[in-house]
Structure 1
Amino acid sequence: MTEEVAREALLSFVDSKCCYSSTVAGDLVIQELKRQTLCRYRLETFSESRISEWTFQPFTNHSVDGPQRGASPRLWDIKVQGPPMFQEDTRKFQVPHSSLVKECHKCHGRGRYKCSGCHGAGTVRCPSCCGAKRKAKQSRRCQLCAGSGRRRCSTCSGRGNKTCATCKGEKKLLHFIQLVIMWKNSLFEFVSEHRLNCPRELLAKAKGENLFKDENSVVYPIVDFPLRDISLASQRGIAEHSAALASRARVLQQVSQGGGAIWL
């Protein structure tokens, strides 16, 4: 790195700060430039996991894909179109032949339930006169309720009941097994030892020369890399991802890359 490049980098940093002086940065005397090579290793693993759960929705008298049409397939036998590699996503699907219809448990098959605001009466006590029909110390009747002491319930609009929010008034629910598929990226990063007083997150963003890259359904640890720490980091990263994902997900693709030869 030359002095001109270093000064341009400093001025660019100063310009990004609202209260820093570019004049001071421009006049700064650079006495010495030290450079150090850093090596960085990065492993990215794209995996797919599947879980199943019972759920329900209002039944609208459509055809029911239940057990009478056959046995439900196993979770990993269900074919779906996934997202592009290394693009995280979550999708939900109805498992074939798992549906059954039941009476709504919330309204007990009535489609409506008693309003909790008026307890089915359709009216509530007038908030102005508190049901006394007249305001305190006044002889004339309450104008808000016209002297009735009651007001129409605003919760149910005076009907005394409300449409069941669970079955949407359909009285029945369609229960089925729902498949939840999650595509996720797992990341492992390692930066070789250094004596720079620089936050690790900034070093991770530094640009440099890419020395190697391996992308496949399964990648293997690096062997005989000039810096032994990078070889050990690749072994550790692959082992960690394998242990974390082996019991709950399937690895679809991995990218192993590193080197960088970052000069600072």
Structure 2
Amino acid sequence: MDKALSGQDGASDHTGYGTYAAVIPPADFGLPQPEASSRAPETHFNIPAISEELAQEAFTEYVSSKCCYSSKPVKEMVFTDLQSLNTYRYRLETFTESRRTERDSEPYYGQQVDGSGIPPEPWSIPVCMPSFFQDSEITIPVPHTSSVQDCSSCSTLGRTMCLSCGRTGRILCGFCGGMGWTNYGQRQFCGVCGGTGRQSCLACGGMGTIRCVKCNSHGKLHCFISLKVTWKNNIHVSVIDKGSGFPLELLNQITGEQLFTDVAPMVYPVVSFPDSSVNAASESAVRKHQAQFSNICRILQQRQTIELIPITQVDYVWKGKTHTFYVYGKEHKVFTKDYPAKCCCCSIL
């Protein structure tokens, strides 16, 4: 039996399962091996800078969305340079499956108890796998691990002490604050508690005990080992920028031009892309994911992609001063640090 089944503290029960959490895949599961290196297109890709007309259209739409931006710079500016700053985005997705076990229980209503037989190894239990690259999680009982036990929370009574009143069934009167009287000038008896300063506990209805939540008042528990299977799409993203100064975090929600896609049980690093920085990013990411996940979970599928994200730096002159804005992504979004005609409130913000 796998060492994980014996428990880290040596404790065990009649099921053979001990107290443990994450279950490491057995060595004989093996790792999928790629058969050949991933061949990326060897043609050099480059999207030219956008036209002045498109730059002005995008800038006009951007300025009109800002309530405190004057439209004068858009109407009066003179373009001096439009420079392409195309940027590559490399993405590696590693779809993994991990398993963990934990002791679990539910109220016992007379359901079938499956406590005879040898429990199967956690990684031998069949489960229905979701679609690749989609996070998912299921929890199922491990066969042959169940038993019926007395509820320790209520000692099989089905009820536990009410914490609001401490089993007395009565609490401090909320209307008179426990004084027993109201209307301080005339010292009238409190109509809620009848002058006692105490009232029936609302939490337990004056009984002093409440229904045991753990066993749902049945006094017995159906105890078993549960197996939690987690599928996770682990994503690594590298943006290969040439020091343009453009804030790369703006590209997180931007669509690029898809240049390359490679899907396999385990991918090789890209080796033939014309930009060596992309190849280096792929090499680093693939090795990192293999080292990070191969020993603690199963790698089921990997996918790596390369995108070209168009960025155009636009320089223009307005009132004798040079300013810059960027048009980026297939959506033609605009970013600028120094719009020259803001109202006072915008300048303060």
**Quick check: 1:191–1:204 contact (8 Å CA) kept in 2?**
no
Partner of 1:117: 164
Partner of 2:263: 215
Aligned residue for 2:291, secondary structure, equals helix
**Quick check: 1:217–1:253 contact (8 Å CA) kept in 2?**
yes
Give the drift of 1:218: 1.4
Output the amino acid matched with 1:57: E
1:175 maps to which of 223, 235, 241:
223
Q: Which of 30-39 and 227-236 deviates more?
A: 30-39
1:235 maps to which of 283, 303, 315:
283
1:55 maps to which of 70, 91, 104:
104
Give the drift of 1:240: 0.9
Partner of 1:91: 138
Structure 1 residues 118 and 192: CA distance shift in structure 2, 3 A: closer
For structure 1, the 5+ residue unaligned runs are none
**Quick check: 1:207–1:262 contact (8 Å CA) kept in 2?**
no
Aligned residue for 1:71, secondary structure, equals coil
1:38 maps to which of 87, 106, 109:
87
Partner of 1:80: 127
* Separation in structure 1 between the aligned mates of residue 187 and residue 273 of structure 2, nearest angstrom: 97
**Does residue 226 in structure 1 map to residue 274 in structure 2?**
yes
Q: Which of 142-151 and 194-203 deviates more?
A: 142-151
* Equivalence map 1:120-139=2 (5 Å): 120-127=167-174, 128=176, 130=178, 138=186
2:300 maps to which of 245, 252, 257:
252
Structure 1 residues 15 and 215: CA distance shift in structure 2, 3 A: farther
Q: State the TM-score, normalizing by the size of structure 1.
A: 0.88
2:147 maps to which of 69, 75, 100:
100
Q: Which of 108-117 and 199-208 deviates more?
A: 199-208
Q: Which of 161-170 and 134-143 deviates more?
A: 134-143
Structure 1 residues 201 and 136: CA distance shift in structure 2, 3 A: closer
Aligned residue for 1:33, secondary structure, equals strand
Structure 1 residues 206 and 130: CA distance shift in structure 2, 3 A: closer
Share of identical aligned residues, percent?
Answer: 36
Aligned residue for 2:81, secondary structure, equals coil
Structure 1 residues 26 and 84: CA distance shift in structure 2, 3 A: farther
**Quick check: 1:129–1:136 contact (8 Å CA) kept in 2?**
no
Structure 1 residues 59 and 92: CA distance shift in structure 2, 3 A: same
* Separation in structure 2 between the aligned mates of residue 249 and residue 148 of structure 1, nearest angstrom: 64
* Separation in structure 1 between the aligned mates of residue 65 and residue 300 of structure 2, nearest angstrom: 40
**Quick check: 2:167–2:208 contact (8 Å CA) kept in 1?**
yes
Output the amino acid matched with 2:146: S
Give the drift of 1:137: 7.2
Give the drift of 1:140: 5.4
For structure 2, the 5+ residue unaligned runs are 1-49, 313-349
Output the amino acid matched with 2:111: H
